Amino acid sequence: MSYENYTSHLRKLADVNFANALLQWDQEVFMPEKGGAARASQQATLAGISHDLATAPELDTVVNELLAGNALDEKQRSNVERTAKDFAKRNKFSKEFVEEMSMAISAGFQAWQVAKKDNNYALFEPKLQKLIDLKRREVEIAGYEVHPYDALLDDYEPGTTSADIKAVFDDFKPRLKELLAKVFAAPKPDDSFFKQHFDKDTQWGFGLDLLKQMGYDFEAGRQDISAHPFTVSFGSGDVRVTTRVSESDLAEMIWSCIHEGGHALYEQGLPANDYGLPSGEAVSLAIHESQSRLWENNVGRSKGFWQFNYSRLQQLFPAQLGAVGLDSFYKAFNRVEPSLIRTSADELTYHFHIIIRFELELAMIEGSLQAKDLPEAWNAKYKEYLGIEVPAYSQGVLQDVHWSHGSMGYFSTYSLGSLYAAQFYAQAEKEVPGLEDAIAIGNTKPLLHWLQEKIYTKGRNLTSRQVCEMVTGKALDATCFIEYANKKYSDIYGF
């Protein structure tokens, strides 16, 4: 069999997976409430077809024949070796298990939507427990060497273990706490002007302008509204984002647009000719998150970015922002304060939201924490790490969509992504002449081109560590983030 047989099979598998992703996108954006039961069945059917293709004997045959020969170039061999690893892992799971998981995820998501809306955790609890039980079965089927959580991490961050993440967090936490202590001791900037009435449609138009400025290609994507902002790709020619707009809080739309735009730029920049192949897929979720956090924080929360954009925003909302200077606006959207909602958190306290979820996931997968006990454990950790009381399920354990998707093993990649982002951006500042000056006049093309060359062209055949070392010359080091944050916040808070 030839390499063409191999690529044809993988592209057919990608077609099925992207069709299922399209159904999920529709479920979260447009699907009517009564469509849930049929949608769960449809997605389970496609998940079963995907599993059949991913574990088909003919795929195993062509992979083994190709690896036994010497006709492959370096990139082709890397693709086939990655597929061989995927095949071995997927072949451990029965089609029945895959379909059962898909049904549980559809049911979990639908229950979560209602539970969050009604602030009623009891509606979600049994569905979540079902997903936890299935995830515990999954890790036993997949196998692991040290900790069961490592089997889940391998899906999102290959080559990384829970011990690795603990080591990063153990190094990071005391330095972050030291910085936060200085911030909390200083007077807080006024951000009350964010909490006025901002017309939804006007916000929406400004968000579209921000995405265009970043380089998001609307001929290869679109933006819609969803309860929880997300990005979904059906290939580099169709990458869609969603946002959340609050007429009483301008910040929600701005940062969700920029954040999801960062994800989308990565997906739109993947090599289209490698559709369906490991070399045409993102390296990992931490690298993916590094792109969204780089655009959101290192670019979108910089003063230079708003030197170009703020006058336009003032023109759109003169009554609300006309008397607010750029410096006050910049300090306000970088205000640091413990908060309940992860997606609205500042870029410093955000990491404790992630650490909380990571620790809870470890306990759930270990079996020491059940769904019925999760709200109490959640609330206790928010008190411990952020010093705040959780007043409602919707602002606590029900705020995130991820567990209803069965996405466990995922949250730590958010913090890892922020650390990678700081390291990548520091390197870009060294290698891209006049980067800050370009951003200050609304020109993000030099940065985008650098990211396309350094990050977007790297496929799933590499690990996050390998990419980081290739781009920056060293492995992940939280020092870049701490240095960036100290410089930025000492200027804002005057310490």
Q: Sign of torsion, CA 445 446 447 452?
A: positive
Tokens of 249: 């809080």
- Concerning whether 260 is annotated as a catalytic residue, the answer is yes
User: What is the DSSP track for 429-492?
Assistant: HHHSTTHHHHHHTT--HHHHHHHIIIIIT--TTS-HHHHHHHHHSS---THHHHHHHHHHHHHH
- Do strands 231-233 and 239-243 pair parallel, antiparallel, or not at all (unpaired)? antiparallel
Q: Which helix (H) or strand (E) holds 223?
A: strand 223-225
Contact (CB, 8 A) for 421 and 302: no
Residue type at position 378: W
Q: Which of 28, 138, 260, 267 is catalytic?
A: 260
Query: How far is it, in rounded angstroms, from Cα 216 to Cα 214?
Result: 6
CA-only gyration radius of the chain, Å: 23
Query: How far is it, in rounded angstroms, from Cα 277 to Cα 44?
Result: 23
Q: How many residues does the chain have?
A: 495
Best CA proximity match to 294, nearest among 266, 333, 334: 266
Catalytic residues: 260
